[in-house]
C-alpha cells in the first residue's frame, strides 16, 4: 500500500515538473474573494513571468495581484500591468515580470479592485476582509468597473511547479484519482511479488 501511495504522489508531482508555462482559470463569487496560487522554483531564475489576461477589456473584474514569499512576506503588489504579454492582456490586467527570483516557494494572489493587501504580511489580510460578502454580479463598483464578470485567468511562465485549489481543472476527479491509485498500487504489488 505504501508503494502505491508513493508512486501516485510521484506521478502527480511529475505532471507539473519542469520550467513551463502553466495556466489556471476560475471564477470568483464575492467581491472579497482572494485567489491563491502556489508555485515553486527549484533553482534561481532570471526570467519568471506571472500575469492575468482575464480582464478582456471590461468583460471581467479588474484584478489586483500580489507576490508573496512562502513565509507570507510581501514581495510586491500590482494593480495594472498589461505589458507582460500584450498579445492577450488588456488594460487593468496585472502581474509581474521578474528578472531575478531565488529558488523557493511562493504565493501569488488575485483579488478584485480595490481589495489590496493591508500590510507587508499575508496575515495582515486584505482591504475587504471582515465585510459581508457581496456577490460580484451585485457589487456596486465604481462606474468604470460596473458589470464585470467573475472570470479570472492566470499564467505562470518559468516556474517548476504550481497549484491552485480554485482551478477545478487542476484537481482530478476523485474517481480518476482512485482508479489511478489502484492501478499504481497493482503495479507496485506486482513488482513486489516478482522481486
The enclosing H or E element of 55 equals none
pLDDT digits (tens, 9 = 90+) for 176-194: 344 444 444 444 444 444 4
Which residues contact residue 190 at a Cβ distance below 8 angstroms, ignoring those fewer than 6 apart? none
C-alpha cell at 132: 459581508
Summarize pLDDT for 9-53 with one digit per residue, the tens. 333 333 344 567 999 999 999 999 999 999 999 999 999 999 999
- Look at residues 137, 57, 74, 59 and name the one whose alpha carbon lies nearest to residue 109: 74
Distances, alpha carbon 42 to alpha carbons 13, 63, 106, 164, in Å: 13, 28, 11, 18
Amino acid at each position: 500500500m505504501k508503494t502505491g501511495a508513493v508512486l501516485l504522489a510521484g506521478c502527480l508531482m511529475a505532471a507539473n515538473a519542469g520550467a513551463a508555462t502553466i495556466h489556471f482559470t476560475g471564477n470568483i463569487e464575492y467581491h472579497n474573494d482572494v485567489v491563491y496560487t502556489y508555485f515553486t522554483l527549484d533553482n534561481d531564475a532570471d526570467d519568471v513571468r506571472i500575469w492575468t489576461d482575464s480582464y478582456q477589456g471590461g468583460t471581467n473584474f479588474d484584478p489586483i495581484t500580489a507576490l508573496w514569499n512562502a513565509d507570507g512576506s510581501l514581495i510586491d503588489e500590482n494593480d495594472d500591468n498589461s505589458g507582460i504579454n500584450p498579445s492577450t492582456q488588456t488594460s487593468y490586467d496585472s502581474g509581474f515580470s521578474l528578472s531575478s527570483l531565488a529558488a523557493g516557494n511562493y504565493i501569488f494572489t488575485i483579488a478584485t479592485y480595490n481589495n489590496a493587501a493591508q500590510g507587508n504580511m499575508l496575515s495582515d489580510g486584505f482591504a475587504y476582509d471582515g465585510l459581508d460578502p457581496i456577490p460580484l454580479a451585485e457589487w456596486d463598483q465604481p462606474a468604470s468597473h460596473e458589470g464585470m464578470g467573475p472570470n479570472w485567468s492566470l499564467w505562470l511562465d518559468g516556474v517548476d511547479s504550481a497549484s491552485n485549489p480554485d482551478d477545478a481543472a487542476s484537481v482530478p476527479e476523485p474517481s480518476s484519482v482512485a482508479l489511478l491509485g489502484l492501478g499504481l498500487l497493482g503495479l507496485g504489488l506486482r513488482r513486489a511479488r516478482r522481486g
